[in-house]
Structure 1
Amino acid sequence: MIVQEQRTARHWDLAYRHGTVFEQVTDAEQQMFATFVRTIREAQDMRVGCRAVDIGCGTGEWTRALAAMGIDVRGFDFSAVALSKARKLSLGARSDRQPSYELWDVNTDPIPTSLVPGTIDIVTCRLSLSYLDVARFLTDVRRWLAPEGVLHVVTKVAEKQPEPPEMGPYVLPHRGLDERQLKALCQGWRSVDGYKLDPQGETTALVLQHPVDASFP
């Protein structure tokens, strides 16, 4: 099932307050990310810091996974409840680096001063891009990325979603992108790579690098 309507910060605050969680990050997902995102390997080889931002971070599970890989990462979300939980969970995480978090509605608020153009190595959207104003977001990402920077997107594929089981009021189905939107998302980048996170291809990842001028329909 794919959610069609947008949801407000108030909705997400209520959902997270009642224990809503999204899919857990697996070891296999982290390994595939490290394999396909070249910036990480290059930064590790050169023993220099790698700076990332996680957009729509929720309670910070993916943000903490990035920190555990040795990445300096800041998570952004527009749910204050989610970020409060993310900060508490991050305090107990086993990592040399601690992620930071910032409240931000990416669709409507001014861009935070921490997102300096040309300084971000990796921008990640894990199951969050389809909730954003994609055209506006891609324009901003192109400005934020460093010369070798990468946009990494994990999303549900609309056409491949199974019928969901009966769900309670605070168990949220995912919103996803359809095949046409995925194809459009890959336009405007000189380097495009991707991989499936499950055998059926219900969840896919895209690795986009070296942007050129393009628009998202």
Structure 2
Amino acid sequence: MITNVPRLTSADWDSWYTASWPTLYTAGWPSLVTDKEAEYFHRAVRPRPGMTAADLACGNGQWTRQLAAWGVKVTGYDFSAEAVRQAAVAGLQDGLSYTQWNINAETIPAALLPGSLDLVTCRHALPFLEYARALTDVGRWLKPSGTFYALVRVAADQDNDDADDGAAAQNDSDQEPFHRGFTEAQIDSLGIGWTHRTTYRLSAHNCGIVLRGYGDTATTPRHTAGETSRLPAPPPTPPAIEETRAR
């Protein structure tokens, strides 16, 4: 079955952040940063002060602010003017900024130069993007030692002939356009073109994905999409600055 997934507009997201976010924030969904996510992120990525980063589809900046709190110099990019406004209201500081950008349709910002970033992150948003093209761009922006991190919702498998074609992912139903995720098959396909991949479950419905070495076959054997590595032992990790109530 081939399903056409409707594109959400910036106005759709503006309305969602204006009307829905306060209720969802209280309920702990969708993107509050938990101590568990912070710990696993530190184990897999090992962020350090002075790193440069881009946070794609940053929403109102909760994860962007978390990266800044760890000393990362980061810019958050989002489609929604209302999300960017909320992020700015929550606080700006040296090394923390936000820019409105339609990742799927607009020209890449001048700041995202090839080989310029240590880290690119994208939480709960990759299924909304033309993710095959987006990951190619991410691979170009990263330094050779750079890392891509995504947190995605795990969706139920569907009989979808477009399951791994790199287009925007299928949402669970037409009534839940803001709740998109990836199937297991789509998650498996995300390692193609990268030499190293780590995946881990944070819960039954959330999966962390870490990719390194885009297109680098000279120094590291290419892994297949289904291969993953173990997480290293955890370093001392500061707690998340924003934490969901529901674990």
For normalisation by structure 1, the TM-score amounts to 0.81
Residue 16 of structure 2 aligns to a residue in which SS? Answer: helix
How many angstroms apart in 1 are the aligned matches of 2:127 and 2:91?
26
* 1:153-187 Cα deviation digits (max 9, x unpaired): 10011128xxxxxxxx9x97521011111111111
| Stretches (4+) displaced over 4 A | none
How many angstroms apart in 1 are the aligned matches of 2:51 and 2:151?
20
Identity %: 39
Structure 1 match to 2:238? none
How many angstroms apart in 2 are the aligned matches of 1:196 and 1:97?
33
Residues 112 and 194 of structure 1, relative CA distance in 2, 3 Å threshold: same
Q: CA deviation at 1:19?
A: 4.1
Structure 2 match to 1:203? 206
Do the aligned residues in 2 keep the contact of 1:126 with 1:153 (CA within 8 Å)?
yes
For normalisation by structure 2, the TM-score amounts to 0.71
Gaps of 5+ in 2: 25-29, 158-174, 217-221, 226-247
How many angstroms apart in 1 are the aligned matches of 2:132 and 2:191?
12
Q: CA deviation at 1:23?
A: 3.0
How many angstroms apart in 1 are the aligned matches of 2:34 and 2:142?
26
Structure 2 match to 1:14? 15
Higher helix share: 1
Structure 2 match to 1:151? 148
Q: Which amino acid in the other structure matches residue 149 of structure 2? A: H
Q: CA deviation at 1:90?
A: 2.2
Structure 1 match to 2:78? 77
Of 173, 196, 207, which residue of structure 2 is paired with 1:191? 196
How many angstroms apart in 1 are the aligned matches of 2:148 and 2:136?
12
* 1:69-122 Cα deviation digits (max 9, x unpaired): 11001000010011000001124xxxx755200010000000000101101111
* 1:27-63 Cα deviation digits (max 9, x unpaired): 221121111114x2xxx4xxx6101111000100010
Gaps of 5+ in 1: 161-168
Residue 67 of structure 1 aligns to a residue in which SS? Answer: helix
Q: CA deviation at 1:18?
A: 1.5
Q: How does 1:1-40 map to 2 (within 5 A)?
A: 4-20=5-21, 21=24, 22-38=30-46, 40=47
Structure 2 match to 1:61? 62
